[in-house]
Chain A
Amino acid sequence: MVRALLCISLVLGAALPAAAQRVSAIDLARSEIRFTGKQMGVPADGRFGRFSAQVDFDPAKPAAARASVEIDLNSFDSGTPELDTEVKRKPWLNLAVFPSAKFVSTAFKPLGGNRYEIAGKLSIKGQTRDITAPITLRKDGAATVFEGAFTLLRLQFGIGDGPWADTDTVANEVQVRFKLTSLAK
């Protein structure tokens, strides 16, 4: 808790010149969240066009890093209009009631080198579940890039219920890949 408060105070105290590798803001134009599902063994992928992300990462104190992401689910874009329309309906994401998904980190664990593991709570469609994802960190010019992926089990969140709960047709596993690029200052 003390550490969290310290982080917040550090973010608020951003008037101080930021250390070169300190990450406190994300460049959404250079960030992306993509997903791949499968129906009948056929991959279908897409992206979310609109989301916001806050990351506070100090390489000197990686374990204190925090991240949160909020996704506007209306920006679901698979490139197939029929699918985009279907997924917004009640059996799937039910956007009329749950327009956004949210992730809030609870732990950030250094795994050695540029590898980390983030844990946190993912909320979709009124359900909150713990997830973990491996993350790699790299420099891109003056910016820092966080890349990671995890497998989302759609039925844990009630995504695709009723007849769509049949995982022989639509797989339960959805691969989610994310890339967050820091604002280079």
Chain B
Amino acid sequence: MQPSDTKTAVQAVRYGATAIALHWLVALLLLCGAAMGLYMVGLELSPAKLKLYSWHKWVGVSIFLVALVRVLWRLTHPAPPPPASLPAWQQRAAWQTHALLYLLLFVIPLSGWLMSSALGVQVVYFGVLPLPDLVQKDKVLGEQLKLLHLSLNVTLLLLVALHVAAALKHHLLDRDDVLRRMLPARRPLR
């Protein structure tokens, strides 16, 4: 193989700049959304609490929208293949984890939207764009959706932990490029 061919082959295993940006944008939004969500529920009713609830909802809607863009982007820009050396079960596990993560990026904001509707506090994106209420005001349903929203988030956090652990395992133990190919291109991959 010529050196230039090698370079081409190496570049093909990276995620594209857009895919990388979208991935880290979702990571950042998730971190903010989860932190606000965990903190705000314990607060006494105050202007700060109302602000946090609204911001949390705006973050959720944003995650849904960015996830939508990500799926469309991924369908038109295939992800680089996993390392050929990776055992089949790990490839399967990676695919399943990613599919579930994507699914939750849609389902969790939806559960929050449903919950807001049932509890009678409409979602108004950035305070200006009202989203239609999906269900009638219903206290019992609202409480059930609250539990669903929490359970889905716990599931997501566990999957994110698994996702991070797997990336670190690739980077530190397998010493391959699986993590690095999702990082902004500073250095060429090995």
Contact = CB atoms under 8 A, between A and B. Distances in A.
Of B47, B120, B124, B128, which is in contact with the most chain A CB atoms at under 10 Å from its CB?
B47
Interface residues of B toward A: which range? 10 to 19
Contact of B50 (A43, A79, A80, A169): A169
Given A41-B124, A169-B51, A80 B119 contact: yes
Contacts of B53: 40
Chain A interface SS verdict (over half)? mixed
Nearest to A41: B127
A13 interface: no
A169 B47 contact: yes
Interface in B109-139: 119-124, 126-128, 130, 137
A42 interface: yes
Contacts of A86: 45
A80 B45 contact: no
A82 B45 contact: yes
Interface in B36-58: 45-47, 50-51, 53-54
Contacts of A163: 46-47
Nearest to B116: A42
Interface in A51-104: 79-80, 82, 86
Of B51, B126, B128, which is in contact with the most chain A CB atoms at under 10 Å from its CB?
B51
Contacts of A79: 120, 137
A43 B119 CA distance: 13
A166 interface: yes
Contacts of B121: 42, 44, 80
Interface of B: 45-47, 50-51, 53-54, 119-124, 126-128, 130, 137
Interface of A: 39-44, 79-80, 82, 86, 163-164, 166, 169-170
Given A40-B51, A44-B120, A170-B50, 15 more contacts: A41-B54, A42-B121, A42-B123, A42-B124, A42-B127, A43-B130, A79-B137, A80-B120, A80-B121, A86-B45, A163-B46, A164-B47, A166-B47, A169-B50, A170-B47
